[in-house]
Structure 1
Amino acid sequence: MFVYGRNSVEEALKDEIPIKRVVIEKGKSNRFLSQIQRAKAKDVLVEYASEYELVKLAGTQKHQGIIAEISLPPTVYEKEEDFTDWEKLQYVLMLDGLTDTGNVGAIIRSALLLGVDVVVLPEDHSARITSQVIRASAGAIYKQPVLYVRNIVRTTEKLKSLGFTVYGLDMFGEGTLGEVTLQKPLCIVVGSEDKGMRRMMRKSCDQMIRIPTTGKLDSLNASVAVAICLWEVYKTQTGGRS
């Protein structure tokens, strides 16, 4: 797969991500001297191509003149059985059917910055980790564990057996964020952008909570709502200190 843009390529080069090659738009090498230096230091092949060829490889015109061909980040667990750190978890974010790659990438970035141990997604009806997700995460995907599971309802039951409280984030929740005490170990569940949380997932939550707003629009963007909720947990745990 290809990642594109200065930040995404820079993060890939900084971390232990298997990189096959870096491709730079002809005539723009002076813009990417540090990336070229890092690539050569890691014995990564650096190639040059036309703008047309970069668009064809990246699948977008937003490549900023640089792309990298990589393997999937090792932080992404596509097979549930490969994840073995269940007993170490204290803070889980679960995305029930989010398909917008921009939202998922932004959520992964917020999760890393605000202390989430792992982001869990269902194998079906969910965005996969693509170059768009990697770019939207601004490199956070290389540090934030992401786990795909076969059945997220069953996963919440597993978390409950480990002492977790499961909170669903919903605009009609009976509890209000800021008034409900969110203590670890906990799991925050967020529904899809258009349909919200699925019925069985809602039933699996211990409590539904909402973010208070003016109500002048139907709801917040999914990634914004998640960031607000994660900040509230972070503030509770740290007092807002970095």
Structure 2
Amino acid sequence: MYLHIKSIIAPLLGVLYPKRCVACDKVLLKIEKEIGFCATCSSKVKLVGPVACMKCGTPISDDRAEFCRNCVCTTRTFIQNKAIYQYTGDMKAAMYRFKYGNRRCYAKTFARHGLYYYGDWIKKNGIEAIVPVPMYKYKEKRRGYNQAAVFARALSEISGIPMADKIVQRDKDTEAMKQLNAIKRKKNLLKAFSLQENDVQFKKVLLVDDIYTTGTTMDEVAKVLKQGGMEQVYGMSICIGEMQ
């Protein structure tokens, strides 16, 4: 009975809430739905690609360089971060809708692409759990969701790796980071995160976020995770800054 009802409702939902291109928000054709992008945007959206910083994942123009300018002079707590798309063009609007426009459905497309490009990397590094960067609880309540957790859940469902969203918490509502320089970012995040669970069994985790900027947030959460006994913290972000 349940399956019969589901078979009736599913097509109706497809008509009422058609799948839209993640980048431009246009209704997708049937052959485009699996990709998540329309034909036009598939050729415009910039992936990070293989020529990227070996530490933070920022795309770099010099294929002989191992690290970007920031990572050359910065010590990172996380081992390595991977990013899927460059934060430019229509992906900026897409991330805005994902964060503030309740387009949580985008997470499935992001997760599929993330695992397509980095699934072998995740397997090679023996990731045991996926940890989303936490949001301040009152801020999350106002917005209705934490976009990093939505992405983490989609990754977990497709990969089969458990999501662990109760390990670390955000203790204060920090100032918006995009307007701050590196020094102010660190001060802004001072004691912003803490362990929520003391008996953590995982040793290798994947810390995920929506947009990687300077890496300050990922570093601060990674420090807390390592204090809790995790030995290796890797990262994955949906978007990252443009090529250096």
- State TM-score, norm by structure 2: 0.30
Q: Of the two, which has the highest radius of gyration?
A: 1
Going by fraction, where is strand more abundant, 1 or 2? 1
TM-score normalised by the chain length of structure 1? 0.30
